[in-house]
Amino acid sequence: MWGFLSRNRSLIAVAVTAFVLDQLTKAIVVAQVPRGTSWPDLGFFRFTHIGNTGSAFGLFDGRNSFLIVGAILGLVVLVFFYRAHPNPGVLFKVSMGLMIAGALGNLTDRVFRDHVVDFVDVGPFWIFNVADASISVGLAVLAVSVLLFDQSAPDHVGIGADAEASLDGNDDQPS
């Protein structure tokens, strides 16, 4: 148990911090901004309290039970993906922590509120919350960590040089 906590402290710290921040900001918005209103009333950046019964971009509106099952399955996939990585680095752990926290934050809303509290309203963009931002940033960090820092990836995209030479019929001849 202690070994697991020690090896994964950055993932756990990020996940707990993002989850608490998500739930805390939602509680403040629910207490201070009446649902369906914005503060301030006008402007590029506002806090607009809405209850989202769908998923991202308004998809699957009103299908809370389906989305709860989907969130649980998504969390299972994230855990298996993380555990399958042979040597997760700090960026990989941070990305997984953010995505797990985001999924747990919105799942918590769906289970206890029957909707997700969204409130960050920036310009013409969709209204979102800290959990949504955590998932998006987590995906971006994952992409960066895999594309730029994954040392286990081959030097080039495609099949290996040995297999390429074999397909060309040049496996015994130097190039």
pLDDT reported for residue 169: 53
pLDDT reported for residue 148: 80
Is residue 110 within 8 Å of 52, Cβ to Cβ?
no
Pairing of strands 38-39, 45-52: antiparallel
pTM metric for this prediction: 0.79
Closest CA to 85 of 134, 145, 34, 30: 145
Q: Which of 22, 109, 121, 132 is catalytic?
A: 132
pLDDT reported for residue 70: 93
Question: What DSSP line would sit under 33-80, residue for residue?
Answer: S-TT-EESSSSSEEEEEEEE-S-GGGTTTT-HHHHHHHHHHHHHHHHH
**Is 132 an annotated catalytic residue?**
yes
pLDDT reported for residue 154: 46
Domain locations in the chain as residue ranges: 7-150
pLDDT reported for residue 159: 45
Q: Which of 118, 155, 162, 172 is catalytic?
A: 118
**Is 150 an annotated catalytic residue?**
no
* Intervals of the chain under pLDDT 70: 1-4, 57-58, 150-175
